Amino acid sequence: MFRARCLLRALRACSSAPCPRQRPAARVSVRGALGVQSANGERVKVQGWIRSIRSQKEVLFLHVNDGSSLESLQVVADSSFDSRELAFGSSVEVQGQLVKSPSKKQNVELKAEKIEVVGSCDAKAFPFKYKERHPLEYLRQYPHLRCRTNVLGSVLRVRSEATAAIHSFFKDSGFVHIHTPVITSNDCEGAGELFQVEPSSKIKVPEENFFNIPVFLTVSGQLHLEVMSGAFTQVFTFGPTFRAENSQSRRHLAEFYMVEAEISFLESLQDLMQVMESLFKTTAMTVLSNCPKDVELCHKFLAPGQKDRLEHMLKNNFLIISYTEAVEILKQASQNFTFTPEWGADLHTEHEKYLVKHCGDIPVFVINYPLVLKPFYMRDNEDGPQHTVAAVDLLVPGVGELFGGSLREERYHLLEQRLARLGLTEAYQCWNLLPFIW
Amino acid sequence: MFRARCLLRALRACSSAPCPRQRPAARVSVRGALGVQSANGERVKVQGWIRSIRSQKEVLFLHVNDGSSLESLQVVADSSFDSRELAFGSSVEVQGQLVKSPSKKQNVELKAEKIEVVGSCDAKAFPFKYKERHPLEYLRQYPHLRCRTNVLGSVLRVRSEATAAIHSFFKDSGFVHIHTPVITSNDCEGAGELFQVEPSSKIKVPEENFFNIPVFLTVSGQLHLEVMSGAFTQVFTFGPTFRAENSQSRRHLAEFYMVEAEISFLESLQDLMQVMESLFKTTAMTVLSNCPKDVELCHKFLAPGQKDRLEHMLKNNFLIISYTEAVEILKQASQNFTFTPEWGADLHTEHEKYLVKHCGDIPVFVINYPLVLKPFYMRDNEDGPQHTVAAVDLLVPGVGELFGGSLREERYHLLEQRLARLGLTEAYQCWNLLPFIW
């Protein structure tokens, strides 16, 4: 497959030279074929699944898709190629010449010289029908086939691009990537939402733990990253995270992926917000530029209106308001909230949505939250009487809270005082001595 | 931090222009500072941990490391900066001018104008001592500090680079990245080695499973990837994998990271081996070129002799021998093996080591294994009487088996026959109907 790509590049470079017929056809992806700017009869081999078939008197039109892009490649064949096996859903290998398409719908089409059916498909038994838009609930029944549909294909390509963009962003910014452990004995956020892990073997002695101590699936790599940031300055992880919350909402999954980063020597929330805004914008712009058609499909069918909203977000600087300002805005709102906004209380989704709208549908950083709302390790602003810490949440239109972060308290005596006040002193003394797993 | 990097680039571009004193110092990493080719008094700010301190009559030399590279930056300061707090292990922020170093040991040094101790370190209580090489068993006691040592710093930087290189390799080759699930109900390889997952909450009803069915930690994403390759042609995953083997060897971890890829339309082992060889070489060369000093350290202290061996591997094409040839080679060996080599028996580590040595310490692909040794889904070569399948293992000097793979059996009737012969027909009928989790 690598050779195929190199060949294509070579073909592009000398596409005006005559192409000797005996040269073996280079394997190209549909995406690669569609990307050829001035097709000139290059001999190529394309493999994929038939998305549509249209038979005319003397010509046969196929659309072949291989998952490399949302768009399919049009294959034009002599009608003698027609056969029963050339059906919607069948996989084929087509060899032929890549030529400029006479149609305005596409730049390029493949003039077939040879079509081989690699795997035939019984269109009657196949659960998806040509040109039909199946509801997501219907697709859910076919986990082994549903990724061949446009909508799931697009979502997974976007996810793949976003994943790559996140890795690149941190690498380009000098962060060291850390694989924080999935199995861990530390339960960052209290035991209620944890999954416990044990060997499934039936011969195990009941009281004997495999790891000597109870272990869980990670709810956060934060503690491990904090340690690592004491050596590498800038570190990140992007791994699976788990919550045993038995809730059936769109916002709660038992298993999900989360980006976490820790930066040493950070002096201001401003610097932290700069990282967050850059991560958001770089990732979004990479996805938009690498799979525009997939994003278009999502905007058309899954999230109408999101396109303009996203462009609006990317064009503007994100806003910054303090928690205190946010509460003032909410108090002055004409809207009635289920939860009355009050200084010292958490912001609810209804509040977050209002704030984002109020700020002109631009992502907004809310900073300096009440000390009582946040964990003990966030940095005390030592202000008063409304006592706050240097925490930040990024609220995003259509989502609500997307990122959260804080400066960490580095002043030992303040940490000691807060642990004492929260009755955690002993727990954190022990923590240091526990033979916990890294 | 991004602005700092941009500034540095700008500084590099106009490093011969006089630098106005009032410009705020740009934050640079130690790696960034050391990479400046012709330092010319640029004002920068460096943050990190003191690795050594040497006080002379009028000058103070510090080595500051921030984990961005193995090498530290030499800071030269007036002796008036000397203080008790400037000790081994303390974290500092140094502002000054980046200048050409008069010493041959380094290109660049930082002429300090301001040194601030961000966090002091009690050198007596600190478990690591200046210039001392601590054994790994000793470091193991200090999981929160050990990554500040050269050896663990290097290992983690290499891992980070290798991870990035693997992601880039697949992306550049047109693969779609899939996050295959960690929690799954499918037990690819038999139930013996699985970890089971359950909510840790104490109020759960014993017989009621959170997911309705028993779930485990993944042992392989293969089944999920096979499904995805039926839509995207080329897919990969690179995630955590788990084995509940209670073995204390260097080769067995309960949690480890594994690269898995599936390619549709693959016709020959040759094409598969091409991917494997490219992945190996691209990753190794990226690591060698991005962190040569870290690799050097590993070669010096952790794996002496590995450097030449690696260069030898990268220079040469990997070899290909059949399993049958491998057994012949082993049978003719003058060496006595614990397990007598015999056609139809597994290759043991001692055999793998001998084969690699026999092949001149170049990685060697062993192909076409006996059908009886391999899982039912590997493609039948339909040869005989020594019946083999199109499987391949890559044996690497110093490691043994590094990659394994196969062509998948796509002929339905052959699959049916083999399932029947193995008594698995019913299991795989059910499998299709199980409400398993994706």
- The tens digit of pLDDT for each residue in B41-90 reads 999 999 999 999 999 989 999 999 999 999 999 999 999 988 888 999 99
Whether the CB of B281 is below 8 Å from some CB of chain A: the reply is no
Q: Does residue B165 sit in the same domain as residue B83?
A: no
Q: Kindly tell me if the per-residue pLDDT of B270 is higher than 60.
A: yes
Q: Is position B109 within any domain? A: yes
Pairing of strands B388-396, B400-406: antiparallel
Regarding whether A271 and A157 lie in a shared domain, the answer is yes
Q: What is the CATH number of the domain that holds B266?
A: 3.30.930.10
Query: Is the domain of B77 the same as that of B147?
Result: no
Same domain, A184 and A279: yes
Measured in angstroms, the CA of B176 and the nearest CA of chain A are apart by 6
Please report the pLDDT score of residue B145 as a whole number: 92
Instruction: Look up the CATH number of the domain holding residue B33.
Output: 2.40.50.140
Residues of chain B contacting A233 with CB distance shorter than 8 Å: 29, 47-48, 66-68
- Surface-to-core class of residue A409, CB atoms within 10 Å of its CB (0-12 exposed, 13-18 middle, 19+ buried): middle
Residue of B1, B143, B156 with shortest CB distance to A176: B156
Banded pLDDT at A411 (limits 50, 70, 90): very high
CA-nearest of A308, A310, A306, A303 to A280 is A310
Q: Across the interface, do A2 and B278 touch by the CB < 8 Å criterion?
A: yes
More confident residue, A86 or A208: A86
* Residue B313 in contact with partner chain A when CB distance is under 8 A: no
The answer to whether B108 touches B102, Cβ cutoff 8 Å, is no
Question: Out of A121-130, A267-276, B386-395, which region has the weakest mean confidence (pLDDT)?
Answer: A121-130
Single residue among A268, A286, A304 that ends a domain in this structure: A286
Q: Please indicate, yes or no, whether residues B101 and B138 belong to a single structural domain of this protein.
A: no
Q: What is the dihedral of CA B289, B290, B293, B299, to 10 degrees?
A: -60
> Is B231 in contact with A147 (Cβ distance < 8 A)?
yes
Residue ending a domain, choose from A267, A286, A305: A286
Distance from CA of A259 to the nearest CA of B (A): 14
Domain that holds residue A277: 134-286
Yes or no, beta carbons of B183 and A228 under 8 Å apart: no
Please tell me whether residue B189 adopts helix, strand or coil conformation.
Answer: coil
How far does A180 lie from chain B, in Å, by closest CA? 10
Query: In which band, very low, low, confident or very high, does the pLDDT at A209 lie, cut at 50, 70 and 90?
Result: low
- In residues, how long is chain B? 438
Which residues of B, range 53-92, sit inside 8 Å of A by Cβ? 66-68, 91
pLDDT at A21 > cutoff 60 = no
Cα distance between residue A210 and residue A187, in whole Å: 18
B416-426 confidence digits (pLDDT tens): 999 999 998 88
**Any domain includes B124:** no
User: For residue B43, is it within any domain?
Assistant: yes
Are A191 and B179 an interchain contact pair (Cβ–Cβ within 8 Å)?
no
Residue A196 touches partner B, C-beta closer than 8 Å: yes
Phi and psi for A294 in degrees, rounded to 5? -65, -40
Residue A10, pLDDT score: 36
Query: What is the end-to-end Cα distance of chain B in Å, rounded?
Result: 39
Q: What is the pLDDT of residue A190?
A: 54
Beta bridge partners of B183: B217
Nearest CA-CA partner of A275 in A122, A418, A113, A392: A392
Query: pLDDT higher for A434 or B258?
Result: B258
Q: Which residues of A touch B176 (CB under 8 A)?
A: 67-68, 156-157, 160
Q: In what order do the strands lie in the sheet with A319-322?
A: A319-322, A364-370, A388-396, A400-406
Q: Do A68 and B233 touch (CB under 8 A)?
A: yes
- Please indicate, yes or no, whether residues A84 and A138 belong to a single structural domain of this protein: no
Nearest to B195 among A93, A197, A271 (CB): A197
- Give the per-residue pLDDT at B164: 97
CB B210 to CB A183 under 8 A? no
Mean pLDDT of chain B, nearest integer: 88
Q: Which of A419-428, B27-36, B116-125 has the lowest mean pLDDT?
A: A419-428
> Measured in Å, how far apart are chain A's first and last C-alpha atoms?
39
Last residue of a domain, one of B237, B260, B286: B286
Query: Above 80 in pLDDT, residue B225?
Result: yes
Residue B397 lies in a domain: no
- B255 interfaces chain A, CB cutoff of 8 Å: yes
- B56 and B147 share one domain: no
Q: Is A242 on the interface with B (CB under 8 A)?
A: yes
Q: Across the strands, what pairs with A370?
A: A388
Inter-chain touch A93–B265, beta carbons under 8 Å = yes
Q: Is the pLDDT at A287 greater than 90, yes or no?
A: yes
Of B218, B308, B207, which is closest to residue B257 (Cα–Cα)?
Answer: B218
B383 shares contact with chain A (CB less than 8 Å): no
Burial B307-335 (b: 16+ CB within 10 A, else e): eebbeebeeeebbebebbebbebbeeeee
Instruction: Compare all CA atoms of chain A with the CA of B164 and give the residue at the minimum distance.
Output: A167
How does residue B380 score in pLDDT terms, banded at 50, 70 and 90? very high
Q: How far is A191 from chain B (nearest CA, A)?
A: 7
The amino acid that residue B297 corresponds to is: L
Query: Can you tell me the distance from the alpha carbon of B64 to that of B71, in angstroms, rounded to the nearest whole number?
Result: 9
Residues of B (26-55) whose Cβ lies below 8 Å from A: 29, 31-32, 47-49
Contact of B200 with chain A, judged by CB distance below 8 Å, is answered with: yes
pLDDT of res. B208: 62
Note whether A182 contacts B255, CB cutoff 8 Å: yes
- CA B411 to chain A, closest CA, distance in angstroms equals 10
Residue A5 reports pLDDT greater than 70: no
CA distance B224 to chain A (A): 8
Q: What is the pLDDT of residue A202?
A: 54
Return the amino acid letter for B111.
K
pLDDT exceeds cutoff 50 at B415 = yes
Nearest to A231 among B93, B147, B200 (CB): B147
A205-219, A319-333, B151-165: which range is least confident on average? A205-219
State how far residue A24 is from chain B, nearest Cα, in angstroms: 15
Query: Tokens for B213?
Result: 């069915």
Mean pLDDT of A194-217: 75
Return d(Cα A200, Cα A194) in angstroms, integer: 18
A201 in any annotated domain: yes
Mean pLDDT of chain A: 88
Is pLDDT above 70 for B156? yes
Amino acid symbol at A213: I
For residue A292, the number of C-alpha atoms closer than 13 Å in the C-beta half-sphere is 2
ipTM metric: 0.90
A136 pLDDT higher than 50 = yes
Residue B333 lies in a domain: no
- B234 and B146 both lie in a single domain: yes
Which of B182, B205, B275 to mutate to probe the A interface, most A CBs <10 Å? B182
CB contact under 8 A, B1 and A274: yes
Q: The pTM is what?
A: 0.91
**Chain A partners of B273 at a C-beta cutoff of 8 Å?**
none
pLDDT of residue A23: 63
| Contact (CB, 8 A) for B292 and B284 | no
Cis status of the peptide bond prior to B304, with omega within 30 of 0: no
Residue B380 lies in a domain: no
Question: Hey, is the C-beta of A393 within 8 angstroms of any chain B C-beta?
Answer: no
- Cβ partners under 8 Å of residue A183, min gap 6: A197, A211, A215, A216, A217, A218, A437, B195, B217, B242, B254, B255
Worst-scoring range by mean pLDDT, A297-306, B33-42, B46-55? A297-306
- Domain check: are A154 and A279 in the same one? yes
Q: Which regions of B128-225 does DSSP assign to beta strands (E)?
A: 176-177, 183-184, 195-199, 215-217
Judge whether residue A9 has pLDDT over 50. no
Verify whether the Cβ–Cβ distance B176 to A197 is below 8 Å: no
Indicate if the alpha-carbon torsion angle A318, A320, A321, A323 is positive or negative.
positive
pLDDT at position B191 is 43
List, edge to edge, every strand of the sheet that includes B255-263. B176-177, B234-242, B255-263
For residues B65 and B138, the answer to whether their CB atoms sit within 8 Å is no
DSSP letters along B37-76, please? SS---EEEEEEEEEEEEEE-SSEEEEEEE-SSSSSPEEEE
**Would you say residue A204 has pLDDT above 90?**
no
Are A170 and A254 in the same domain? yes
For residues B280 and B323, is the Cβ–Cβ distance under 8 A?
no
List, in sequence order, the alpha helices (H) in A14-117: 30-34
Reported confidence tier of residue B304, pLDDT bands at 50, 70, 90: confident
Q: What pLDDT was estimated at residue B399? A: 86
pLDDT of A238-274, one tens digit each? 999 998 887 667 677 899 999 999 999 998 999 999 9
Q: Looking at the predicted structure, is the pLDDT value of residue A436 above 80?
A: no
- The one-letter amino acid code at A384 reads G
Q: Which two tokens stand for residue A403?
A: 């990122």
* Residue A145 sits in the same domain as residue A113: no
A205 half-sphere exposure, CB direction, 13 A CA radius = 6
B93: left (phi over 0), alpha (psi -120 to 50) or beta: beta
Q: 3-class DSSP state for residue B9?
A: helix
A160 CA to chain B: closest CA distance, Å?
5
**B8: closest CA of chain A, how far (Å):** 13
CB pairs under 8 A between A and B: 225
Interface test with chain A among B200, B225, B264, B273, by most A beta carbons within 10 Å: B200
Q: Chain A within 8 Å of B176 (Cβ-Cβ)?
A: yes
How many domains, in total, are found in chain A? 2
In chain A, pLDDT over 90 holds for what percent of residues? Answer: 70
Task: Clarify whether residues A196 and A227 are in a common domain.
Answer: yes
Residue B60 lies in a domain: yes
Q: CB distance from B431 to chain A under 8 Å?
A: no
